[in-house]
Amino acid sequence: MSGPVLTTYSMWSLFRNCRKACEWRYIHELVPLERDHNLSFGSLIHECLEIWHRDRDLPAVLDHIDRACPNRAQDEREQRDWHLATAMMKGYAARYPTEEFEVVALEKTFEGKIVNPATGASSRSFVLAGRVDGIVRIGDEHFLLEHKTASQIDADYLERLWTDFQIILYAWYVERTLGLRIAGIIYNILVKARLQQGRGETEAEFEERRRKLAARSKTGKSSARRRLPESDEAFQERLAAKYAEPGMFHRETLYISRDQFAALQAELWELTQAFLDARRRGAFYWNTAFCFHYRRPCAYFPLCRSGGSPNVIENLYRKVPPHEELRDGSSCEEAPAF
Ligand code: SF4
């Protein structure tokens, strides 16, 4: 007889947000062919931070970025990621030349039982697995280190960290499985600069601009010169200046209220019971209020709109075993949890 099914917080979060999306991902094992760009960039930064916090070797980090973007000469998106990741990690290394914490573990995985808090009994159907970005020590206290990339950090963003129940639940599992008492979470937030590399003017654009300037000039002439594309070096310099600004990196420490452990355990248990019921009845209903939750269509929108058409599946999706976050660092992006 097979044992309990491995689950992750992402699965339970998705089940809570839209059961249909959970069915597409975790029962049918479908993912869109085109990976969300925010997730790819977040994974790259996760990997860089792991290398940096393990060895504090900036050339090794930059080499990793070079190797992760092999087609940057031809591919604009890779080129953008390469520039941003390079400048971000150089800025990060300059901002934190030393740390107040000592690294205990990086990219640590755990697996633990899901417990019914009312009876203390463990689920026979599911276990929960996860991975934390880091465990660090300050004095005699341990903290989870959680990396985030963000478009901007403001009061709302920091306020929303309170709703990041995933990491609090993980703290509970780390305590139980690794035997460390976790005092709190250190959020390590890196801001994505919005600067764009100047692409210059085409010959036609330049001629049009010069014609307009000349038309407005009393002499009927213009001394305008064609704007050339910004060189990689010049763009890196602009990015470096941006990443020297204090607001581009932020650390926020939240202490865990231990009452939250019991509440999250109870919630997780309820989700397992609801999932078992949905699976038994084959009733994974749609939550259409969630289709545009992140101000863009849900990854399964074409599939739901087509009523689950096999053609849509064939053209837009592929099968990938679930729980990718246990295999790569794809959890650094901005999408809020629960
Ligand atoms: S498109 Fe809407 S209903 Fe369909 S899975 Fe996504 S959130 Fe759920």
Q: Could you please report the per-residue DSSP string of 219-288?
A: TS-----PPPPPPHHHHHHHHHHHHTSGGGEEEEEEEPPTHHHHHHHHHHHHHHHHHHHHHHHT-----G
* Distance (Å, whole) CA 110 – CA 135: 12
Of 323, 324, 284, residue with least CA distance to 304: 284
Pocket flag, ligand 1, residue 304 (CB < 6 Å):
yes
**What pLDDT digit, counting tens, does each position of 27-40 carry?**
999 999 887 666 68
Pocket flag, ligand 1, residue 286 (CB < 6 Å):
yes
Of 54, 43, 56, 57, residue with least CA distance to 85: 43
pLDDT score for 36: 67
Residue 313: count of CB within 10 angstroms of its CB:
17
Pocket flag, ligand 1, residue 299 (CB < 6 Å):
no
Q: Which two tokens stand for residue 308?
A: 């689950």
Q: Which CATH class is domain 100-197+236-285?
A: alpha beta
**What pLDDT digit, counting tens, does each position of 4-25 carry?**
999 999 999 999 999 999 999 9
Spans in the chain with pLDDT lower than 50: 329-338
Q: What type of residue is 326?
A: L
pLDDT score for 333: 43
pLDDT score for 40: 83
CA of 290 to the centre of ligand 1 (A): 6
* Distance (Å, whole) CA 44 – CA 218: 54
Residue range(s) in the chain whose domain bears CATH number 3.90.320.10: 100-197+236-285
* Distance (Å, whole) CA 94 – CA 281: 56
Any residues with CB less than 8 A from the CB of 288 and at least 6 apart, and which? Answer: none
ipTM: 0.99
Q: Which residue lies with its CA nearest to atom 1 of ligand 1? A: 301
Q: Which residue lies with its CA nearest to atom 3 of ligand 1? A: 286
CA of 293 to the centre of ligand 1 (A): 10
